[in-house]
Amino acid sequence: MDLFESGKVVRVCAPMVRYSKLSFRCLVRKYGCDMCFTPMIVAADFMRSVKARDSEFTTNSSDRPLIIQFAAKDAQTLADAACVVAPFSDGVDLNCGCPQRWAVAEGYGACLINKPQLVKDMVRHVKNQVEKPNYAVSIKIRIHKDLRKTVDLCQKVEAAGVSWITVHGRTPEERHQPVHYDAIKTIKDSLSIPVIANGDIKNLQDVESIHQLTGVDGVMAARGLLANPALFAGYEYTPLKCVWDWVDIALEHGTPFTCFHHHLIYMLERITSQPERKIFNSLSSISAVTDYLHNTYGPLYS
């Protein structure tokens, strides 16, 4: 919560399935990211097995401030999961925005925006059961077509003690339509807690203009950070130093090849030609990738 009191717009790395894992969080923190979310973790699975806990959640001492995002549909399961991760994190976030069919069918994600009483109970349970002062409890939502419903949800959850709310400015049905920044402003104006805006943040200019437009306290980037992990540091494209930083961090963390390679595909997409991309995308080992980077871009320091 101290971050929001600094007066500057808090820059946040979104929870991204498969991508916002420890190694990537370490990278974006080097380039101006103030706070990171883990990928969404299903709380019930997390509580069911040690194996799930070990594979879903890894962190280290420099990985802070860190917010663990959970998918949950009952208050006690969420509170139990929060108690497990509280010693290793700074807060938990309840996913009330995932529009994927499987999540909604299971009672997770975006369907929760239509269950304000349940969301209130979940926030209260975590606040009451985590024995750690100042531990944050937040929610991430999408908006309703009728914005009054969203404002009502947010005010109810604010009354339950939620620390902040992240608003993805689209409805659960919308995918690539323009983000409703006017809706985010309306929500921000109706609350006294911090609000984070999410949706279509591509560069540092977007961060500033969305702050001006909506008055939000923070801005969360997802795909923009995948394409350019140095976005928050003001770079228009991924700088070569950032590419080599990723190689070093990923190798140090033992990042699986597919994940290592996918991140580089995203990072290089805007700075490589189509023939180059075709070659790079077909590489199938860490040594082939590092050789290609050396031969194409040269080492960072020659």
**Residues noted as catalytic:** 98
Residue 69, annotated ligand binder?
yes
What is the residue type of 259?
C
Strands 136-142 and 195-198: unpaired
Given a contact cutoff of 8 angstroms between Cβ atoms, the answer to whether 65 and 4 are in contact is no
Cα dihedral sign, 24-25-30-35:
positive
What is the residue type of 207?
V
Partnered with residue 167 across adjacent β-strands are 141, 197
What element of type H or E holds 183? helix 181-189
φ and ψ of 68, to 5 deg: -90, 120
Residue 212, annotated ligand binder?
no
Residue 162, annotated ligand binder?
no
Angle at 168 between CA 162 and CA 174, to 5 degrees: 140
Residue 122, annotated ligand binder?
no
Residue 175, annotated ligand binder?
no
Residue 168, annotated ligand binder?
yes
Reading the block at residue 141, the tokens are: 């939502």
Residue 263, annotated ligand binder?
no
Binding site: what residues are annotated?
15-17, 69, 168, 222-223
Binding site for FMN: what residues are annotated?
15-17, 69, 168, 222-223
